[in-house]
């Protein structure tokens, strides 16, 4: 486990380039095992989740190699075998192997997935989709066992009771090789879903409607990769740097961005009074002296992303008056609050109405804190850059799970930050 040491007080300036989307990558890698040929991905972020997924691939005799943003995956010699529970439990997105294995073999056996503890995140909608396609799902202790009869999976009408990115992608992965037609209604619309569908369609899948709430799938017998798939830029990483630059920058240009994927976030920054210069694939954040307080409510895409409510919080500390955040997706995503309070932040959680209240704070003080999960860690990291003195963030591996080459990128922006292996 690493800890991140940040010496605050060094204002940020320069350029930063955003990596490939984590939330695409963690679905694309399991999706690769559906292919009947080797697969290559470009713009793969160098994050811990990628390396954990490669460990899972290796357990199935799927070879992979990763260097300079290029990930090669060869599923042609795949074997059914027990998946490593430690790697499965380290990241929530390992549940995509349920849909991928079901689509490949007609069965799957997987340890209950882990990942960030940010409140209840049931997989009942995933199971509902699998069962609609003819699968039988059993829970055996800590394992989920999914089987089909001799006829395998078949097309089905699926209506998701709640909008779920994970359930939408898992249903697609299971359905692309199923016999017949599948229709997923009340599907999630996130750009990462479009990215996964683009990858599958380029291999011969027949999926229409990605990006809308109705997705239609005609099953095919084989998927064969013909080209390298370039992963879309990470809108959550981009939003994190936008918040960081607005909070403590003297002029920062954020490159490799798709502004359309960040419209709800950008609108809130502009509402605060930040005069963003938005270009086709970059956003320049000027130094801003006075900020207005705002109200935020997280919603499914294209609404304000739950993954960005914590990274924007340090910026809200600088605004005049009180800002409020209501997270309708994960109301218990509040691990950052206690840690920011240690630094002097005026922030509290009203459990009665599920509202985070962020008040103007004149100064933050470097402290010893802990990253309880990825986005909480990002919030604390930004606060550490803004603080007077030195901040030590324990469990910094949680930050590394979601942020590509974070130390190099921060250093290039004039931050003074390092990772130290915590052997205690």
Looking at residue 224, the DSSP 8-state letter turns out to be: -
CA distance 135 to 2: 41
**What does the block give as tokens for 345?**
């932040």
Nearest to 78 by CA among 104, 102, 96: 104
Check the CA dihedral 241-323-310-213 and report its sign. negative
Is 23 within any annotated ligand binding site? yes
* Max Cα–Cα distance, the chain, nearest Å: 67
Give the three-class secondary structure for 223: coil
Cα dist from 31 to 104, 164, 200, whole Å: 10, 18, 8
* Residue 49 in marked binding region: no
Structure tokens at 296: 């935020």
Phi and psi at residue 411, to the nearest 5°: -60, -40
The response to whether 65 counts as a known ligand-binding position is no
User: Per the annotation, does 329 bind a ligand?
Assistant: yes
Q: Is residue 22 annotated as involved in ligand binding? A: yes
Asked whether the beta carbons of 417 and 7 are under 8 A apart, the reply is yes
61 is in an annotated binding site: no
- How far, in Å, CA of 33 to CA of 186, rounded? 26
Structure tokens at 105: 């073999």
Asked if residue 213 lies in contact with residue 250, where contact means CB atoms within 8 angstroms, the answer is: no
CA-based torsion, 159, 160, 163, 166: positive or negative: negative
- Report whether 123 belongs to an annotated binding site: yes
Q: Is 185 flagged in the annotation as binding?
A: no
Q: Would residue 116 show up in a list of annotated catalytic residues for this protein?
A: yes
Identify the CA nearest to 418 among candidates 403, 410, 407: 407
CA atoms of 102 and 383, how far apart (whole Å): 43
Report residue 77 CA to chain centroid gap: 29
* Residue 346 annotated as binding site: no
Tell me which residue of 41, 64, 94 sits closest to 202, measured CA to CA.
41
Residue 171, token pair as written in the block: 């249903």
Q: Of residues 49, 116, 195, 404, which has the active-site annotation?
A: 116
Q: Determine the Cα–Cα distance for residues 17 and 404; give it in Å rounded to an integer.
A: 10
| Torsion sign (Cα): 268, 271, 275, 277 | positive
Show binding-site residues: 22-23, 92, 121-125, 307, 329
Show binding-site residues for UDP-N-acetyl-alpha-D-glucosamine: 92, 121-125, 307, 329
Q: Which residues are catalytic?
A: 116
Show binding-site residues for phosphoenolpyruvate: 22-23
């Amino acid at each position: 486990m690493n800890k991140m040491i940040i010496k605050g007080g060094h204002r940020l300036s320069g350029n930063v380039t955003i990596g490939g989307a984590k939330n695409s990558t963690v679905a694309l890698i399991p999706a690769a095992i559906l292919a009947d040929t080797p697969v290559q991905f470009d713009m793969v972020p160098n994050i811990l989740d990628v390396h954990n997924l490669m460990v899972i691939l290796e357990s199935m005799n799927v070879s992979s190699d990763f260097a300079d943003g290029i990930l090669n995956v060869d599923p042609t010699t795949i074997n059914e075998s027990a998946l490593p529970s430690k790697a499965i439990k380290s990241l929530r997105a390992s549940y995509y192997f349920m849909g991928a294995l079901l689509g490949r073999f007609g069965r799957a056996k997987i340890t209950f997935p882990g990942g960030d503890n940010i409140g209840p995140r049931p997989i009942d909608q995933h199971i509902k989709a699998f069962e609609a396609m003819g699968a039988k799902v059993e829970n055996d202790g800590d394992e989920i066992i999914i089987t089909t009869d001799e006829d395998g999976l078949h097309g089905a009408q699926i209506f998701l009771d709640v909008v779920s990115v994970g359930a939408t992608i898992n249903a697609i992965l299971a359905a692309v090789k199923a016999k017949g037609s599948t229709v997923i209604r009340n599907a999630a619309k996130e750009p990462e879903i479009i990215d996964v569908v683009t990858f599958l369609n380029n291999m011969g899948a027949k999926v229409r409607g990605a990006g809308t709430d109705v997705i239609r799938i005609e099953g095919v017998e084989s998927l064969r990769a013909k080209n390298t798939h370039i992963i879309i830029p990470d809108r959550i990483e981009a939003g994190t740097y936008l918040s960081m630059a607005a909070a403590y920058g003297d002029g920062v240009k954020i490159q490799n961005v798709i502004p359309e994927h960040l419209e709800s976030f950008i609108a809130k920054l502009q509402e605060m009074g930040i005069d963003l210069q938005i270009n086709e694939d970059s956003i320049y954040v000027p130094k801003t002296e006075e900020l207005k307080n705002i109200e935020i409510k997280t919603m499914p895409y294209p609404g304000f992303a739950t993954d960005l409510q914590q990274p924007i919080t340090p910026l809200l500390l600088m605004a005049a008056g009180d800002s409020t955040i209501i997270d309708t997706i994960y109301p218990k995503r509040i691990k950052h609050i206690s840690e920011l309070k240690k630094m002097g932040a005026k922030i509290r959680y009203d459990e009665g109405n599920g509202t985070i209240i962020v008040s103007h704070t004149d100064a933050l003080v470097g402290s010893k804190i802990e990253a309880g999960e990825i986005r909480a860690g990002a919030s604390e990291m930004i606060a550490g850059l803004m603080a007077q003195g030195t901040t030590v963030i324990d469990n910094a591996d949680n930050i590394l799970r979601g942020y590509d080459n974070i130390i190099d990128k921060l250093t290039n922006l004039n931050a003074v930050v390092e990772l130290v292996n915590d052997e205690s």
